[in-house]
Amino acid sequence: MKELMDAIVKPAAGPGLELRKVPVPVPGPGEVLIKVHKTAICGTDVHIYNWDPWAREHITHPPMTIGHEYVGEIAALGAGVEGLAIGQRVSGEGHITCHHCRNCHTGNIQWCRNTKSVGVDRDGAFAEYVCIPETNVILIDESLDEDVVAFFDAFGNATHTALMWDLVGEDVLITGAGPIGIIAAGICKYAGARRVIITDLNDYRLQLARKMGVNAAVNTAREDLTAVMKQEGLTEGFDVGLEMSGSSAAFRQMCGVMRNGGKISLLGLGKDTMEVDMNAIICKGLTLQGIYGRKMDNWHQMSYMVQGGLDLHPVITHRYHYTDFEKGFAAMNSGQSGKVILSWAD
């Protein structure tokens, strides 16, 4: 009889999740079994919990274990695994790539056309154990706080988005104060941006952004962004934009306040088709870069930034035992949260 473990499972097509007993995965050749210590709830997990249009399109084979933000330790090694040892602290890159396509061969695995995502296309990490290929295992220094490492996956998205451009001395606009936008604000300040201004409609999350050191947090429902820009000494517009909201209105406003020749990273996924003012983009000579996932070197950058003094603890607002996962998802759905951490300790 197979050994069983606790896991948070999407049981069927429809809203909600269940805590179930499922078999502990057995690592095959080239695979690593990880005992999970901490996990973090991501926006993707909330989509799956709510069973919104994105989830209905992407979760095609329930029941399955969800979750992809985690930290733990190596529990077992499959045949042929080298350079890793049982007991090492690790996390894992959540995008499992083919290693054969052009992008994989040229070091751009974030654009692999055959990507399979942990917790979406295959069983994930909201469980006592998770199994991934050895090539996706990321060693984690023992000096790093596991509560922070638990959301390194999301931190990586923010890192990729923010560090796409040179930030030293630049003025940055971030539209969308979700957890990744707030993390990106901290990265921009750490990396030497002159001014970082973030916009949203959620006062709770704007306050979290203030704790991360932004120069201004603007509720665009009642505040004039251009007036705030003037107060902060911006005369020609923003040099860099990070679009994290997926909102057409936010993106249009961003394009309107960029300086000529400005650069924009696009991470936020819209619920519907986004209308774009191409005239503004063309006439201003703006550069737009779509962002998906992380670059593999982002994992090292994340560790080094935290070790160098980037404090991400203000982003963490809730901590629960995994058996109270419903409280964690309620906090995320309320909009009155940052990152929510689930502990998998006994």
Q: Report the pLDDT averaged over residues 13-33.
A: 96
The pLDDT assigned to 295 comes to 78
Render pLDDT for 199-255 as a digit per residue (tens, 0 to 9). Answer: 999 999 999 999 999 999 999 999 999 999 999 999 999 999 999 998 999 999 999
pLDDT band at 1 (very low <50, low <70, confident <90, very high): low
- pLDDT > 90: percent of the chain: 86
Mean pLDDT score across all residues of the chain:
94
114 within 8 A of 98, measured Cβ to Cβ? yes
Taken in order 190, 333, 252, 249, the sign of the CA dihedral is negative
Q: Report the pLDDT averaged over residues 185-199.
A: 98
Is 206 or 60 the better-scoring residue by pLDDT? 206
**β partners of residue 196:** 172
Q: How far is CA 68 from the centre of its chain?
A: 10
Residue 167 has pLDDT above 60, yes or no: yes
Q: Report the pLDDT averaged over residues 69-84.
A: 97
The C-alpha atoms of residue 304 and residue 279 are separated, in whole angstroms, by 40
pLDDT band at 61 (very low <50, low <70, confident <90, very high): confident
Q: What does pTM read for this prediction?
A: 0.93
Q: Report the pLDDT averaged over residues 296-306.
A: 90
Active site positions, annotated: 44, 47
